[in-house]
Chain A
Amino acid sequence: MMRHLAAAACCLSLAILAGCGLVTSTNRSVFFVFDVSGTYVEAVPDATKMANITVAKLLPGDWVGASQISACSFSEKEIILQRQLPTTPSLAAEAKRELFNEFSAYAAQVKSAKYTDIRGAIAQASFELKQRPEEERFIVLFSDMLDDYSKSCDTSEIELDLRGIHVVAANVIKSDPADPQKYLDMLKEWEATVVAAGGTWSLVTSPDLLPKLVTGV
């Protein structure tokens, strides 16, 4: 009788441990945001290549999303793709190759936008990521980080909620080489915005650092 009770207690303990976080998820969700406004549209092919490298390093079970920064970015129309990699390595490898093709196809036919609604795009990405069950969430911004809002779609005052989200600014090209201070101030301003919204901020200048930052490998 005592043995049965002990066994039952062990099972119960295991169940409680499982409930208390013994079994956890290692998956992450990554949302790529491409800036297609102004001159940055020319850098989109390079940005998609960086995204490819990052996707190649993602693990099976990870989730990938992508959208673009346009005149009014907070919209489902701007979402390019959303896909979860299968949990087995071989199927995940196939899915990654399909993503490469999708990014390449997007880079080939991308069209320029008149305005740059960065906040709207971040809000859109944040909204999508909040729906995901993954614990680690990343927004990877491929942009010059210079926002320009249209009168019809001014999101400059919207409140961002980036709690639990890591925002990575990658391939931030310098639009005015004559004024480095302006570039640095602009980056600081964005960092302050992201941190104020509850997120964390990183700047990636080297392409090989992006996969390391996202996957931690």
Chain B
Amino acid sequence: MQQLDSTTANPADVVAGGGHFFGIPYGWPLAVAIVVLVVVMWIAREPMHRIVRQTFFFLGYMFARWGSALLDHGRRAREVTNEKIASQRADELQDRMLHLEEKMGKRTEQLARETGPILKKLDKATHELATSANAISDINLEDAAERAFRAALPSMESSRGLSKVEKNIAQNTARTMNERLAPLRPALITIRNESPRLREVADKLVKIEHDFNKNASDVNKAFSEFEEIVRSEDRKKIAARASIVVPWLIAVLITTIALAGVFLNFFLIERPMAEIVGEGARIGGIGLPAFAAVIVIFLEFVTGVILMDSAGFTRLIPAFHSMSANGRRVMLIVSFTFLALFSVMEMTLSIVREQIIEQDRETDRLAAQIIGPVLVAPVPSADAPPATDAAAPSQVPQRANVFGLELSTFAQLILAGVIPWLLAAAALPLETIIRNSVFIVSIFASFALIFLGFICRTISALFKNIGVFVLAIYDFIIFLPLFIQRYVQARRAGDTGSSRLRAKDDDLVLNDRADPKAPKREKSRQPEPEFEKAS
């Protein structure tokens, strides 16, 4: 008879075929076995529940603790990062204030020089104006008019006719008034001339005041922000105000462009470096000239960093912060000299590179010339003479040149001279990249810790719920004897204490409802109730 697979065949067919379940034949033996199993499970309920609780709830508790710890670390890491960002911002503002203070100090020195002549002019103009004003105020117009009229009377008396008298009066009065007012004219001219000058001087003073006020306002603003950063409790808000990503992206972009220059530089100096260090060896899989070229580029970059730091543009090297101004100046001169030497060296190497290329080309040409047309034709070259006449001097066509160098060589020369300085300039964004990268990594790390904490807490909840589910399934399998047991116990204990008894006995009731009359206690950090129960 064909044996049926109990796992895949239809149970009805299996029964019909007289099959078995894990070696127990179907029918009454299996029924007895199930009953025995249920009874055994009922008897073993207490230790089995304990095992399940200890396994799942302990794991849940463990993950919960990990989750809490990770969340705690993540939050603390974020706080530390915020503090660092705020400190960094405070440092920046401090630098800015110092810079503005220095600027204002210099401006004050200039101000004394600038305002001295202006004040002299102002004093002179004021004095002249005062003199003119005194002269004007000293003149009694009524008296002058009377005197003029009196002076005109004799001539009026000698005239005849009324109209003539009137005319004469007017003319004489005007002339006399003119004579009397003549001393006033210089004063009036002085007033006319000095007024625009006075306005100009006043404008200058207003501008100076404006500049001064602006600087003072900048200092005040920086100081206010600095004070807020130092004193504010909301470090997150302070940190959020400082932009990290945008300057970082800009710095990365600039550095990438600078790295493209490095790449170009590398190909420019790699080949001629063979003339200095020789060929034939590899260091870590890289050819010796290539390795030497990389080292030279690194040295140029380091010199650039020192130059920028000693010039005060960057603050990458801490030793420069504590160095005296003279020491920094010495370092500036030394690094500048080194960079200039590197520049000259690269220019020389660019010429050597051209010479090597020319030599190689000539060697190839000679080898190809000797081979003749039998095997391979020589590579057609503009400067190569016909292959049949090896001894003939090469007819090199005249090419455009600058200072005796070919245009391409001259371009290489310029490039080689400029690149070390560009590399030095790449140190400027490097500071931002390094500083902000640290912040970005710290922020990401704190988020990662928080996320891991969340995952651990989720796993913890999952384990606890799986434990509860397994216990429920276990009790479901033995529900009949369990029901009978509880019924009997309830009958014995009486109806009054049944619910409490059930709750005490029932593993699935994890958190029994608290007695409303019981005094509320402070929530303290305690182990998980499930774990306590399990242990």
Residue of A nearest to B365 (CB): A56
Q: A207 to B366, Cβ gap below 8 A? A: no
Q: How far is the CB of B377 from chain A (nearest CB, A)?
A: 11
A23-B367 Cα distance, complex, nearest whole Å: 33
Q: B355 to A90, Cβ gap below 8 A? A: yes
Q: How far is the CB of B304 from chain A (nearest CB, A)?
A: 25
Give residues of chain A (41-71) contacting chain B, Cβ–Cβ below 8 Å. Answer: 46, 49-50, 52-53, 55-56, 59-62
> Given A104-B370, A207-B371, A208-B376, is A93 in contact with B362 using a C-beta cutoff of 8 Å?
yes
B278 within 8 A of A: yes
Describe B's contact surface by its main secondary structure: helix
Chain B, residues 265-300, CB within 8 Å of chain A (1/0): the string is 000000100110011111111010000000000000
Chain A residues within 8 Å of B514, by CB: none
Chain A, residues 102-117, CB within 8 Å of chain B (1/0): the string is 0010000000000000
Q: A50 to B375, Cβ gap below 8 A? A: yes
Q: A59 to B280, Cβ gap below 8 A? A: yes
Chain A residues within 8 Å of B374, by CB: 46, 49
Q: How far is the CB of A92 from chain B (nearest CB, A)?
A: 8
Chain A residues within 8 Å of B278, by CB: 60-61, 87-88
Q: B376 to A207, Cβ gap below 8 A? A: yes
Q: A23 to B282, Cβ gap below 8 A? A: yes
A146-B44 Cα distance, complex, nearest whole Å: 93
B360 within 8 A of A: yes
Please give the number of chain B residues whose Cβ is less than 8 angstroms from any Cβ of chain A in the complex.
Answer: 28
A131 within 8 A of B: no
A100-B372 Cα distance, complex, nearest whole Å: 13
Q: How far is the CB of A66 from chain B (nearest CB, A)?
A: 15
Chain A, residues 27-52, CB within 8 Å of chain B (1/0): the string is 10000000000000000001001101
Describe A's contact surface by its main secondary structure: helix
A96-B279 Cα distance, complex, nearest whole Å: 15
Residue of B nearest to A60 (CB): B279
> Given A50-B375, A88-B275, is A93 in contact with B360 using a C-beta cutoff of 8 Å?
yes
Q: Which of A87, A93, A208 contacts B279 (CB 8 A)?
A: A87
A87-B277 Cα distance, complex, nearest whole Å: 8
Q: How far is the CB of A34 from chain B (nearest CB, A)?
A: 15
Q: A56 to B359, Cβ gap below 8 A? A: no
Chain B residues within 8 Å of A90, by CB: 275, 355-356, 359
Q: Which of B280, B364, B375 contacts A49 (CB 8 A)?
A: B375
Residue of A nearest to B275 (CB): A88
Chain B residues within 8 Å of A212, by CB: none
Q: Which of B282, B355, B371, B376 contacts A24 (CB 8 A)?
A: B282
Q: A100 to B375, Cβ gap below 8 A? A: no
Q: Which of B275, B287, B367 contacts A100 (CB 8 A)?
A: B367
> Given A56-B364, A88-B274, A96-B363, is A49 in contact with B281 using a C-beta cutoff of 8 Å?
no
A52-B281 Cα distance, complex, nearest whole Å: 24
Give residues of chain B (338-377) contacting chain A, Cβ–Cβ below 8 Å. Answer: 355-356, 359-360, 362-364, 366-368, 370-372, 374-376
> Given A97-B363, A207-B376, A208-B376, is A52 in contact with B279 using a C-beta cutoff of 8 Å?
no
Q: A100 to B366, Cβ gap below 8 A? A: yes
Q: Interface size class for chain A? A: 20 to 34
Chain A residues within 8 Å of B359, by CB: 89-90, 93
Q: How far is the CB of B415 from chain A (nearest CB, A)?
A: 21
**Residue of A26, A27, A89, A97 ringed by the most chain B CB atoms within 10 A:** A89
A104-B284 Cα distance, complex, nearest whole Å: 40
Q: Which of B274, B280, B367 contacts A56 (CB 8 A)?
A: B367
Chain A residues within 8 Å of B279, by CB: 26, 59-61, 87-89, 92
A181-B458 Cα distance, complex, nearest whole Å: 77
Chain A, residues 154-179, CB within 8 Å of chain B (1/0): the string is 00000000000000000000000000
A75 within 8 A of B: no
Q: A25 to B275, Cβ gap below 8 A? A: no
Q: How far is the CB of A154 from chain B (nearest CB, A)?
A: 34
Chain B residues within 8 Å of A60, by CB: 274, 278-280
A22 within 8 A of B: yes
Q: How far is the CB of A81 from chain B (nearest CB, A)?
A: 16
Q: B371 to A49, Cβ gap below 8 A? A: yes
A49-B360 Cα distance, complex, nearest whole Å: 17
A22-B280 Cα distance, complex, nearest whole Å: 14
A208-B359 Cα distance, complex, nearest whole Å: 20
Q: How far is the CB of B387 from chain A (nearest CB, A)?
A: 12
Chain A residues within 8 Å of B372, by CB: 49
**Residue of B274, B285, B372 ringed by the most chain A CB atoms within 10 A:** B274
Q: A52 to B280, Cβ gap below 8 A? A: no
Q: A26 to B287, Cβ gap below 8 A? A: yes
A90-B285 Cα distance, complex, nearest whole Å: 24
A61-B287 Cα distance, complex, nearest whole Å: 13
A25-B278 Cα distance, complex, nearest whole Å: 12
22 A-B pairs whose Cβ atoms sit less than 8 Å apart in the complex = A26-B280, A26-B282, A46-B374, A49-B371, A49-B374, A49-B375, A50-B375, A52-B370, A53-B367, A53-B368, A53-B371, A56-B363, A56-B367, A87-B274, A87-B280, A89-B274, A89-B279, A89-B359, A93-B360, A207-B371, A207-B375, A207-B376
**B interface, CB within 8 angstroms of A:** 271, 274-275, 278-285, 287, 355-356, 359-360, 362-364, 366-368, 370-372, 374-376
- 4 tightest A-B contacts by CB? A61-B280, A87-B278, A56-B367, A49-B371
Additional pairs, 13, CB under 8 Å, beyond known A55-B367, A60-B278:
A23-B283, A24-B281, A24-B282, A25-B281, A56-B366, A60-B280, A62-B280, A89-B271, A89-B356, A89-B360, A97-B363, A97-B366, A207-B371
**A interface, CB within 8 angstroms of B:** 22-27, 46, 49-50, 52-53, 55-56, 59-62, 87-90, 92-93, 96-97, 100, 104, 207-208
